[in-house]
Structure 1
């Protein structure tokens, strides 16, 4: 019978790497993206700061691994990815509606994602650029389907979706950071959240039902 090889050192390394990756999230929640330093991350992990360079090469590589491992954008889209894959250019309105409403719920509940988006829009970084590029790949696949469905119609769905996504981000960040009304709506209140969801659905109904022939 073959003897099992000793895996102690390997397991210790894997555990340490996971602690460092998780520590990135802890620092983001406690200090925001500006707190993502070698010192803060290693302290949150309870490990020697030298391990960051040893295991990841740089703190930027560690942060990138953390952001990608969380699958923020995949989680925020819910089952939209599967719906897009199975879609043949028909009823893309339902896909977009699901995507936006899932994104609203996920973004509102996920403090880490809120901090990540604040980082994305307030500071240029290669990490955030790569994350945005991956998100855009999903958008490109979806819009290729809408182009097929809306061919010959003067509907700028990209602009409409862009405004809705930006509105979701801003309203959530506004509500979470100022705890005040926006256009007399409080999305921290279930009734306010319901109104925003109904407005998203209404905008999409209008966009898809008022198609002007070219």
Structure 2
């Protein structure tokens, strides 16, 4: 990006609703046959010897630096509460995706295990209250917005982990609102899938019934 373009991007603080809709439609609702699959795996990170012990930001940062040093095909990123996320590259088949992410997960587990840390594949942190690990403007804005309706937003941001399967959207339906129907359908299916695969048996050291 040129210096002029960079300055222009930094100077502009907002986009219009129409621009946002166009961006989402172009990225999330491309036309064409489904061809690739991917997955995003989020994990809660905890002390192996005693999971209920709190982890410092410095401890997590050092562990993530060591994990990134491993030869990973997936991108390793961090969620607002310090959850670890592996995002696979697009794969031509489900089994290719599974093999790639499984190898990366083995490497990450090994790197964390050397530092006395482990991964918990459950939906909600059973041991700790939500706390922010990342301090970035986008998460500051998200937290402010979510706080307007109560504490559930912070719990989602900072104390939850999930599996997100990424699929090509497929063909555009006829008519100018084809992408709107797909957006609506994705939301309807999302709620059903979340309920069907809920796996958060404990929160605040108490049973939740969400399993």
Same topology, TM > 0.5: no
**Is the radius of gyration larger for structure 1 or structure 2?**
1
Q: TM-score, normalised by structure 2?
A: 0.28
Q: TM-score, normalised by structure 1?
A: 0.28
Name the one with the larger strand percent: 2
Name the one with the larger helix percent: 1
